[in-house]
Structure formats: structure tokens, C-alpha cells
């Protein structure tokens, strides 16, 4: 058992550590950052902080992950240098050359799998690697490639593939389009010539027809004698219309009929021509119904590709063949124009990033294995309709290069959910890296927090943050790490705080974001929905709870607990009213009863009834301390009043203190709340060990108006900075430490609790 002096010394040392001034929070050094002097002692805002243009410099707190990434990139570049020396691309330079179909043309690896909680920088690392890879390619003269899909005149359902230096493919496409345009121009000129010629011929026939009709009118007017020797008008009895109709039938067969036929033919050709233009409209990927080759992978910018394939299906990931005429640009769209490259092809010689890689289905994982092993994959139809019977679905290209550096990401549960074969390849040819959730709270990392704030302010075009605002964000990062000497590396939630605080400052008309803006953002605006729901639940229940942190009472104590959202693990603190009853068996008159030990208000079912262990340990602790069995010799009842299913180890010390109070007959101070896990005593010492959720528990006690909270000494030393709270936080290492702070030991302490509290502190 710790002596009083030992506890006092421990408490004094911890308080001295906490009371170190914050003026030197960032040190006194002057540092040269990217060619600019930066004085950490005197800087007022982040406005002039030199932010790096290199995304890899933006990654904070993940040094080991970056080291593994650098090693992986060096291995990747070494592999590409060897392949370039072997001129692997020769088979793809000419579309008419035969492509390699055997497997294992390219040695597999390396790959990276980043595992960690959301917001730790996995996506940022993926994007930063692509930028760094571009620099390595320039340094080692490694060339990217464009990929072009060509028509296959022999087997149209097997389009040909060719690879070219970056930018060359566009020139090839332009030349082919120009060639196609020349052909189309000649065809159009020929069609126009034929059209005009037919129009002229039709006009001649029409002219001849009308000329012959005029001649018949002249004959009628002259009333010439016809072959029968009779006058023309007399022959038709003066009916001119009958005469002209007979003449029109004869003349029309040789003049008007050919002219009309030619005109109808021209109209039909014109309609077909217009329909052909409609069918050549742009379709999927800009495709047209032409024989011009299609550019399916464009690296003309000469930047290492970064393709985020998170959540993509097979068609997006591995490419597909469009077969719906409404998508492709027309019924006559050739096969090669219906080819669309997948993510693995567009990421050729670049970064293929797949977050939540565990969500890949079995077929997708197996196909990805082919990509990683072979470095090439034909493009064919991939969709839920890929078992269709139409010939449009039977198109498959030649093998398309897809050597990509896989960067997978996920939470720690991904290890057991990723396809076993894929996981085996990653273990064999790559590396699995754990992302840090926190980093040491030292001077260097506090400087990096300022860097982080400056980066986000620049990225979102925000006003600069003051020194005080930076310190507030640092304190929040420390609190979120749940450690006194650490800072969280889950920066995404902190980004929301940075943006919100900047908006609050802007609304006030302030040119600099101050600490008060950060505090308001944290306390009011940047809570997750789960946190809001939990706090609302506690607030609503709080109106019905019987909690009064005043005075002293025998048989009642307040414990601290947390309520956790099962899906997000968000937690909020809660205060438990715990009441107790203890009576010796022989004090009850009448028929002798067997003793009992009941605890109500706890969890009744579930695999993890942790509190059941605490209930048992409390019985043993009381037996060790007082030599009495509360289950056999006493009627013992502990009730977590209005608690509705309490579980967890932190209720152990609460129950133990309550029973000690009843046994010794000493009231409990009601303005003190406690938490901690009780343990069976060894060597006469009953130890209280650390529990979780301390920050939320202390905040709950503070909100309810308690004056003091007792927590395990390990938690105090490891997790708590008392400057975060307005309530007095006291460490306790043993049950005796807790009893000393909770029980009223004499009449004077009962009458003047504030005076005695001041004396002890």
C-alpha cells in the first residue's frame, strides 16, 4: 500500500510537469525551411510559413510508412530500368507485330498495403508517390507510353494494340484522321459530281419533255392533217385535253419518267448520306463510326499516372467493350472504337490506388492477380451481362500493357477480408505497412502541426492562424490521441476544425484565426453525427436522472462510464448513480436467511459481460480487506440506479468504495466522481488499474458540476493534462488512495469539506 507521502510526491511531480509554461511550446530555435528563416519563438501567424509543393512533405507522422514507400519505389524503378534495357516494349511498337501471350513476361512486385484508421494519410501517400515517381522517371530516363487501339481487317473482333512514346500517339491519330478526312473529301467530291451530273441529266429530260409538249400545242393550233387524211382537231372532235393527254403518255415515258427516277434516286442518296452523318456522331470515349485508331491511354503530359480505383467495378477496373449502339455512336461503329481502357491500363507504369481493397469481389481479386503477375491484360466485355449471346460481346483486344504499382489501403480488419491469394502476393512481393494513429508530442512534431495548419490554410485559401490558434489545435490533437505525450495523426477531423475556425473568423471580419475561433469550432460545430446523437441521448436522459453532486451520503456514490456508438466507436461520458445496501445476517430477526450478493442495473446478456468479472473481484477485494464475505455473511445489494445495462471494468472501484463506506459507516462525498478497474490484492495492496474513455468521463463529471474526479494513476500519467479541465483531477493508485479522497473521515471534514480539500492539494 502506498504511503501518503508517496502519493503526494507523485501528484506533485505530475502537477509540475503540467504547469510548464506554454510560451516555449514551439521552442526558441530559428530554422531555415525551404530557404526561408522561420523563428519558432516569435512567429505570430502561419501566414508566411513556407509550404512545400512536394506532397510527400505534407505527410506527417508516418515516417516508417514513407520509408517503406521509398524502398518500394526504388525497387520499382530498378525493375523498369531492367525492362527498358531489355526493350520489353518492342513487341508493342507496331500494331501488326505479334504480342507476347505467355505469362510471367514481367517480374511481379513491388506492392504496398497501407493499413490504418481513416484520416491517417493513406490517400495522400498514394498521390504523393505518383509525384515522386515522375521525378524518378526523369532522373533515370524511364519513358512512359501511350496506347492506341487499331482495327483488325482480318479478324475485326480482335482489335490490335500498339504503344508509343508519350505524345506520339496523338500525332499518329491526327495523321490517321487527316488520311481519313482526305478519303472522305474525295468521296464527297465524287458524290457531289455525280449528284450534279444526275441533276443536269434530269433537267435535260425535263426540258425535252416540256419541249415535246410545246410542239404538240403548235400542231394543235396549226390543225395539221394527220396520216388518216383528217384534220387533227376534227379527229379529237375539238377536245384539246384528250389530245394533250395522249401525247403526254407517249412523251412522259421517254422524258419525264427518267427525270423523275433520277430525282428520286438523288433524294434517297441524300437521306442515306444524312443518316450516315448521324451514325458518325460521337459516342463512348468520343468514338465515331470510322476506321481511325482510338487513343485509349494518354500519357502526353509525361507525368506518372495516379489512378484512384476505389470502389470501381470490373468494367472500370479492367476495361470493357461497349456493345450498346446508343453508347458507341451508331450501328456501324467498328470494334476498335468500342474499346475502353480500365484503371489498370491507365495506371500503366504509375500508381494504382485502391482504398478499402477488402471490398474487391473474388473475380475482381483474381483478375487483379493476373494483372500483377503478367503486367498485361486484354480488354474484353466485363459486366453483369457478360454471359450474353450477341456477337457484339465477343470482342477482345490483343494484350494491353498494365504494369502498375499497386498501393492498397484499408483498416486493420482488412487483413482477414482480403482475398487470400491476393494477400499472399502482397506478402510475397510487397510490404504491409501499419499507419500510425499518433506520434510523440515533442518539439519536432509540434512544428509539424504548424506545418499542417499552414498547408491546409493554403490548400483551402484560408486566413492565417495565430500562434494561439495553433496551440489550441495542438491541444485538440493531444486530446484525440488519448495520451499525454502524443499527438494524433488522424488529420482529417482536424481539417474540419481548421476550415470551420477560419470561417468563424471570416464571419467576424477578423484577418487572423484566433484561439477562440478554434475553441468554438471544437465545442459547437465539429462533432460527428454519432457524437451528436450520443450527447442528445445523454442530455435527454439527464433530465430524468437523480444526480445531485452536493453534500455527503452513506450508501450512495457516483461512478463514471462511457456510452459508445457500436458503428463508429464514438463515445461520450455518462454519470452513474450507484446505491448500496449491506446488513449482517444475524441482525435480521425471524427465520434465519441465507446471505446474498446482488448487483442490479448491469448488462444481462452478451458474450462480453465484462462487469461480471468486476462484480466477482469486488467480493474478493472486500474479503481481503475486511475478512468478511458479503455474499455469505451479509445481505448485500448494489444497484446502478437508472443505468440500464452497465458493462465494463470501470465500475469495479465504484462498487468497492460503496461497500467500504457501508462497512466502515463513513459517508461518501457526493461532489466526487470515480472510475477505475479494481483488482484482487497482492501483498496487502489492492490496486486500481487504468480504464478507457477518460477524457469523455471527466468532461461528463465537469458538466454535471462535480468538484473532483478520481482516476487511475496510470491514466493520469499517460493520458491526462489537467489544463484541459475546470474540475480537479486526482490520481489514485490503490483502493486506499480512492477511499482517502471519497470518504468523510472525521466530523470537521464533513463540516468544512472545501478547507480540507485545499489542505490536501
Active centre residues (catalytic): 650, 697
Write out the H or E segment, with its range, that includes residue 109.
none
* DSSP β-ladder status, 708-712 and 688-689: unpaired
By C-alpha distance, which of 146, 134, 141, 137 is closest to 89? 146
How far, in Å, are 151, 522, 637, 732 from residue 578 at the CA level? Answer: 81, 32, 11, 20
Burial class (CB in 10 A: 0-12, 13-18, 19+), 221: exposed
Under 8 Å between Cβ of 360 and 419: yes
Residue whose grid cell is 495523321: 175
Report residue 442 CA to chain centroid gap.
29
d(CA 316, CA 603): 48
Contacts of 132 (CB under 8 A, 6+ apart): 54, 56, 73
The 3-class SS string of 129-185 reads HHHHHHHHHHHHCCCCCEEEEECCCCCCCCCEEEEECCCHHHHHHHHHHHHHHHHHH
Phi and psi at residue 532, to the nearest 5°: -65, -40
- Locate the DSSP E strands across 333-445: 339-340, 351-355, 376-377, 400-401, 405-410, 431-434, 438-440
Q: Taking a C-beta distance cutoff of 8 angstroms, is the pair 255, 209 a contact?
A: yes
Cα separation, 715 vs 543, in Å, equals 30
E strand or H helix that includes residue 530: helix 529-542
Q: From the CB of residue 745, how many other CB atoms can be counted at a distance below 10 Å? A: 13
CA 73 vs CA 43, 114, 736: distances in Å: 37, 15, 58
Angle at 751 between CA 747 and CA 752, to 5 degrees: 115
> For residue 559, what are the β-bridge partners?
576, 674
Q: Could you tell me the three cell numbers for 692?
A: 478507457
Closest Cα to residue 572, out of 581, 563, 580, 560? 563
DSSP state of 96: T
CB 125 within 8 A of CB 73: no
Residues 436, 119: Cα–Cα separation, whole Å: 11
Cα 164 from Cα 298, distance rounded (Å): 10
**Strand 596-600 with 634-641, pairing:** parallel
Q: Where are the alpha helices (DSSP H) in 150-284?
A: 168-222, 232-235, 240-254, 256-279
Give the CA distances from residue 124 to residues 60, 105, 407, 592, 650, in Å, rounded to whole numbers and listed in that order. 10, 32, 11, 72, 38
Paired strand residues for 560: 575
Neighbours of 569 (CB within 10 A): 9
DSSP bridge pairs for 462: none
For helices 443-459 and 491-508, give the axis angle rounded to 10 degrees: 60
Assigned C-alpha cell, 154: 482480318
The C-alpha atoms of residue 724 and residue 591 are separated, in whole angstroms, by: 56
How many angstroms separate the CA atoms of 105 and 344, rounded?
Answer: 17
**Among all chains, which residue has been given the C-alpha cell 507476347?**
100
Amino acid at each position: 500500500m502506498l504511503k501518503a507521502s508517496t502519493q503526494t510526491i507523485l501528484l506533485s511531480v505530475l502537477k509540475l510537469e503540467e504547469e510548464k509554461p506554454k510560451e516555449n511550446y514551439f521552442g526558441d530555435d530559428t530554422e531555415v525551411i525551404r530557404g526561408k528563416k522561420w523563428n519558432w519563438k516569435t512567429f505570430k501567424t502561419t501566414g508566411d510559413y513556407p509550404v512545400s509543393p512536394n506532397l510527400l512533405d505534407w505527410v506527417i507522422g508516418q515516417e516508417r510508412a514513407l520509408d517503406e514507400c521509398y524502398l518500394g519505389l526504388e525497387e520499382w524503378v530498378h525493375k523498369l530500368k531492367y525492362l527498358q534495357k531489355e526493350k520489353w516494349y518492342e513487341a508493342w511498337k507496331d500494331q501488326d507485330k505479334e504480342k507476347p501471350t505467355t505469362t510471367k513476361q514481367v517480374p511481379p512486385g513491388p506492392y504496398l498495403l497501407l493499413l490504418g484508421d481513416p484520416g491517417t494519410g493513406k490517400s495522400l501517400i498514394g498521390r504523393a508517390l505518383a509525384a515522386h515517381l515522375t521525378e524518378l522517371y526523369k532522373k533515370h530516363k524511364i519513358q512512359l507510353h501511350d496506347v492506341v487501339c487499331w482495327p483488325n481487317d482480318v479478324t475485326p473482333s480482335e482489335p490490335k494494340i500498339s504503344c508509343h512514346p508519350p505524345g506520339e500517339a496523338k500525332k499518329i491519330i491526327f495523321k490517321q484522321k487527316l488520311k481519313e478526312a482526305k478519303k472522305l473529301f474525295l468521296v464527297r467530291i465524287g458524290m457531289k459530281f455525280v449528284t450534279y451530273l444526275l441533276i443536269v441529266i434530269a433537267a435535260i429530260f425535263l426540258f425535252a419533255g416540256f419541249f415535246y409538249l410545246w410542239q404538240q400545242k403548235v400542231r394543235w393550233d396549226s390543225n395539221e392533217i394527220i396520216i388518216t387524211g383528217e384534220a387533227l382537231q376534227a379527229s379529237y372532235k375539238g377536245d384539246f385535253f384528250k389530245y394533250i393527254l395522249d401525247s403526254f403518255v407517249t412523251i412522259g415515258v421517254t422524258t419525264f419518267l427518267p427525270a423523275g427516277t433520277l430525282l428520286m434516286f438523288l433524294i434517297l442518296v441524300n437521306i442515306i448520306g444524312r443518316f450516315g452523318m448521324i451514325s458518325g456522331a460521337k459516342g463512348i470515349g468520343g468514338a465515331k463510326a470510322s476506321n481511325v485508331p482510338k487513343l485509349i491511354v494518354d500519357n502526353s503530359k509525361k507525368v506518372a499516372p495516379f489512378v484512384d480505383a476505389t470502389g470501381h467495378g470490373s468494367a472500370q477496373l479492367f476495361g470493357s467493350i461497349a456493345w450498346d449502339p446508343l453508347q458507341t455512336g451508331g450501328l456501324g461503329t467498328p470494334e476498335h472504337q468500342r474499346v475502353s481502357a480500365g484503371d489498370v491500363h491507365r495506371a500503366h507504369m504509375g500508381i494504382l490506388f485502391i482504398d478499402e481493397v477488402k471490398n474487391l469481389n473474388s473475380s475482381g481479386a483474381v483478375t487483379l492477380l493476373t494483372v500483377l503477375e503478367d503486367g498485361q491484360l486484354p480488354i474484353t466485355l466485363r459486366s453483369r451481362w457478360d454471359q450474353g449471346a450477341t456477337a457484339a460481346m465477343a470482342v477482345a483486344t490483343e494484350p494491353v500493357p498494365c504494369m502498375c504499382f499497386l498501393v492498397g489501403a484499408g483498416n486493420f480488419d482488412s487483413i482477414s477480408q482480403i482475398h487470400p491469394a491476393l494477400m499472399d502476393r502482397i506478402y510475397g512481393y510487397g510490404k504491409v505497412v501499419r499507419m500510425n494513429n499518433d506520434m510523440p508530442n515533442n518539439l519536432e512534431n509540434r512544428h509539424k502541426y504548424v506545418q499542417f495548419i499552414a498547408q491546409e490554410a493554403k490548400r483551402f485559401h484560408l486566413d492565417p492562424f495565430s500562434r494561439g490558434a495553433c496551440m489550441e489545435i495542438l491541444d485538440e490533437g493531444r486530446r484525440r490521441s488519448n495520451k499525454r505525450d502524443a499527438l494524433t495523426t488522424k488529420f482529417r477531423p482536424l481539417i474540419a476544425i481548421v476550415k470551420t475556425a477560419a470561417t468563424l473568423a471570416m464571419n467576424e471580419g477578423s484577418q487572423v484565426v484566433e484561439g477562440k475561433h478554434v475553441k468554438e469550432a471544437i465545442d459547437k460545430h465539429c462533432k460527428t453525427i454519432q457524437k451528436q446523437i450520443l450527447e442528445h441521448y445523454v442530455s435527454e436522459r439527464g433530465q430524468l436522472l437523480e444526480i445531485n453532486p452536493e453534500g455527503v451520503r452513506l450508501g450512495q456514490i457516483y461512478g463514471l462510464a462511457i456510452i459508445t456508438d457500436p458503428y463508429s466507436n464514438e463515445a461520450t461520458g455518462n454519470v452513474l448513480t450507484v446505491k448500496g445496501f449491506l446488513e449482517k445476517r444475524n441482525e435480521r430477526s425471524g427465520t434465519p436467511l441465507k446471505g446474498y450478493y446482488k448487483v442490479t442495473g448491469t448488462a444481462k446478456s452478451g458474450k462480453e459481460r465484462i462487469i461480471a468479472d468486476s462484480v466477482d473481484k469486488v467480493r474478493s477485494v472486500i474479503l481481503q480487506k475486511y475478512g468478511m464475505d458479503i455474499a455469505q455473511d451479509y445481505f448485500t445489494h448494489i444497484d446502478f440506479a437508472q443505468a440500464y445495462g452497465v458493462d465494463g471494468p470501470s465500475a469495479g472501484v465504484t462498487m468497492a468504495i460503496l461497500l467500504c463506506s457501508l462497512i466502515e459507516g463513513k459517508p461518501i462525498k457526493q461532489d466526487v466522481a470515480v472510475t477505475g478497474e479494481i483488482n484482487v490484492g497482492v501483498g496487502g495492496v489492492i490496486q486500481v488499474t487504468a480504464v478507457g474513455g477518460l477524457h469523455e468521463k471527466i468532461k461528463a463529471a465537469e458538466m454535471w458540476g462535480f468538484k473532483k474526479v478520481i482516476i487511475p494513476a496510470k491514466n493520469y500519467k499517460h493520458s491526462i493534462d489537467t489544463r484541459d479541465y475546470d474540475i480537479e483531477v486526482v490520481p489514485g493508485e490503490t483502493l486506499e488512495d480512492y477511499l482517502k479522497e471519497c470518504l468523510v473521515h472525521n466530523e470537521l471534514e464533513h463540516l468544512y469539506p472545501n478547507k480540507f480539500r485545499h489542505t490536501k492539494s
